Each structure stands twice: as C-alpha cells, then as structure tokens.
C-alpha cells in the first residue's frame, strides 16, 4: 500500500503461511502448526519459562487461534494470581480423567458446575446441587452421585495444583439392614455347587467371602497372581489399591482342584453377569437365601470379621482393601494385616 510502511503491519500478519503461525516480541502469541499429514491445528506457548503444547482439536484455524490465546491468557493469570484464580471445575474433571479415575457421575456435575472456579464452589452449594440434579433421590444417592465425586474431583485437583482441599458434609442416611453371607451359607453353597459339577462357582464364592474381593476383581484374577504353595493371591486391578490376600487351607484346596481346567483366568468367568447366572443357579438348587455377590462376598467378609468375631476395624480394612475405615465404622460398628486373623476367622477350627 503506497505510503504505508511495512513496519506498521503486525508481525503476526507479515509472517503467516498455511502451516504455522509465529509471533514474537511485544505481539507474541501462541505458535500454531499442523503435524505432517494432519488436519488438526496444534499450538504451543511458553509462560514463565514453562512450555505448553496442546492440540486445538479443530481444523478451523481461527477457532484454533482463539483456543490457544485463551489458554495462554489463563496460564499467565495463574502465574500472576495463582492457580485458584483460573482453575475451573471442568479443568479439575479433565485432570481427574487423565489420572484414570471413575467418571460415572460427572456428566450432570459438568453441566451444573462446568465453568465455575473451583475456589468458588462450597460444600453447601454441592449439597444444594445434589437436590437439584436428583430431586426425587434419597440421601444415599445424593452422597454417592454428587457429594462423593465432587469432593474427590476437587480434592484431586487441589493435590495436583497445591490448593486448599474442600470438606463437604454428607447427607444423613438411614441405615438399612441387608443380609450378609456367613460361613454356614458359604459351606452349603460350595457343597451344592460341587455336586452340580460347578467347582469354579464354589471357588469364586468362597474366594469373595474370605478375601472381600469384588466380583469384577475376582473375574480378573489370573493364575500368575496366585501362589498356592504360599497360600496367597495378589489383586492387581482393584477399585482402590493393589493388595495381597491370604488363602485358607480350604481355599487352596478349591483352587488346586480347578488349576488344570483353566490355564489363564482362575475362575473362568469373563464378567459379573456370568458369575451371577452361575451363582443364582446354585442358590436355587441349594434352597438358600438369595444373596448378591456383594452380600455374600464383601459384606459377608466384614460382617464375619467385625460383628461375629470382634476383629478390629483397622485389621478388617487392611485385609479387605477398604480405603475408608470410617465407612466400616459407620456400617458395622459404633494393625497390621497378618495371616493368623484370616485363619482364625475363616479357617476350620482345630480339634483338640
């Protein structure tokens, strides 16, 4: 343009092409580029000496520019004012997801709290949201689907970003008495299952009852995780943390009897549906009280330990893999794990 010096044209405009976008100096902006053979724009920028690279997840260049600029601006605000000034709930959910955490109840939570800053979300607001999101639910549902996941997501982000954790008062729940498995129930079940030529079903029922293993965890158990000689099994993929469990003599015998039949999965069950069908079939044949896998397994374990044998909560939690001892106290009652307590509670009594 006549009479118009090139220096008046912003650097970003003068150095633009179809593949990347760079700016420097006072007009510095995020760099946009495409990977070789790709259609989606990528961007990178440096704030306070830390470089960030992300995908804009769009082939639209103008939209990618907008996403990159907003991201960089947020990072700069965080440097100046602290993470709490920019960390939104949706960012906390993304951190939670990146860590492989449970996202079952997050859709409604995201819709409600999405762009709210974490620092502005309070316990009373979370309790109020529970009633709004699930108006016809009971307190147990509000706790399970709102209070617990909100607290977990926010505190996970707080750990990651060095922020203050949140405390949320749970709704008071009415305790309901539910049936629990017992040694007598398990023995009758196993006896019937073996008569029906279903030794794997007998073994998995005993295993869940004596180790507090969830049905999904039992289904994943491989022979590589079992040491019959030492009488132990290692649960690698659990809801909380991996743990070692001790096997009673009866459990070792049950496992030894099915060892040669199934070379990979210990109980030859792909999922909980398979286990349920087998268990229901045995229960009907034996004429036993109908129990779910949780009732005769994890709930039965805790009841047998705490209620029927007065084992302390700490030991029960260690053996059963409970992350929260408070849950056990609230449910079953108003050390270190060792083999002896398992043999004492679940093993056969020695005759004098």
Q: Locate the domains of the chain by residue range.
A: 6-81, 89-161, 183-346
Question: Long-range contacts: 185-188, Cβ < 8 Å, 24+?
Answer: 185/288, 185/289, 185/291, 185/296, 185/300, 186/296, 186/300, 188/286, 188/288
Distance between CA atoms of residues 30 and 276, nearest Å: 55
Q: Per-residue pLDDT tens for 88-138?
A: 898 889 888 888 888 889 999 999 998 888 888 999 999 999 999 999 999
Q: Per-residue pLDDT tens for 31-46?
A: 888 888 888 999 998 8
Distance between CA atoms of residues 6 and 142, nearest Å: 63
Closest CA to 115 of 92, 95, 145, 82: 92
Task: Write down the pTM of the prediction.
Answer: 0.54
Given pLDDT bands bounded at 50, 70 and 90, which one contains residue 329?
A: confident
Task: Choose between 313 and 76: higher pLDDT.
Answer: 313
| CA-based max dimension of the chain | 111
Q: What is the pLDDT, as a whole number, of residue 74?
A: 74
**Is residue 278 pLDDT above 90, yes or no?**
yes
Distance between CA atoms of residues 252 and 17, nearest Å: 69
- Mean pLDDT, range 179-204, rounded to an integer: 96
Q: What is the pLDDT, as a whole number, of residue 298?
A: 93
Say which CATH class 183-346 falls into. Answer: mainly alpha
């Amino acid at each position: 343009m006549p009479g118009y010096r090139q220096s008046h044209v912003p650097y970003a405009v003068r150095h633009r092409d179809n593949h990347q976008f760079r700016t420097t100096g006072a007009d510095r902006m995020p760099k946009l580029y495409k990977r070789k053979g790709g259609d989606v724009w990528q961007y990178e920028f440096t704030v306070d000496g830390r470089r960030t690279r992300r995908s804009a997840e769009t082939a639209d260049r103008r939209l990618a520019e907008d996403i990159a600029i907003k991201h960089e601006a947020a990072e700069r605000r965080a440097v100046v004012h602290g993470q709490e000034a920019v960390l939104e709930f949706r960012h906390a959910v993304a951190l939670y997801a990146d860590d492989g955490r449970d996202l079952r109840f997050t859709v409604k939570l995201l819709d409600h709290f999405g762009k709210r800053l974490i620092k502005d979300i309070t316990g009373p607001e979370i309790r109020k949201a529970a009633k709004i999101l699930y108006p016809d639910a009971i307190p147990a549902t509000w706790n399970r689907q709102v209070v617990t996941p909100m607290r977990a997501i926010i505190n996970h982000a707080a750990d990651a970003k060095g922020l203050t954790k949140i405390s949320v008062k749970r709704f008071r729940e009415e305790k309901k008495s539910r049936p629990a498995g017992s040694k007598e129930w398990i023995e009758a079940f196993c006896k019937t299952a073996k008569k029906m030529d279903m030794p794997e079903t007998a073994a998995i029922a005993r295993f869940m009852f004596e180790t507090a293993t969830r049905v999904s965890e039992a289904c994943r158990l491989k022979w590589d995780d079992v040491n019959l000689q030492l009488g132990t099994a290692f649960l690698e993929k659990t809801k909380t943390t991996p743990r070692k469990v001790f096997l009673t003599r009866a459990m070792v015998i049950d496992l030894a009897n099915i060892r040669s039949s199934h070379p990979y999965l210990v109980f030859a069950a792909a999922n909980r549906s398979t286990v349920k069908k087998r268990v229901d079939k045995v229960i009907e044949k034996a004429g036993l009280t109908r129990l779910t896998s949780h009732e005769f397994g994890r709930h039965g374990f805790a009841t047998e330990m705490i209620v029927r044998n007065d084992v302390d909560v700490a030991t029960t939690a260690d053996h059963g893999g409970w992350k929260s001892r408070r849950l056990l106290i609230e449910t079953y009652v108003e050390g270190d794990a060792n083999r002896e307590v398992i043999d004492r509670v679940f093993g056969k009594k020695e005759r004098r």
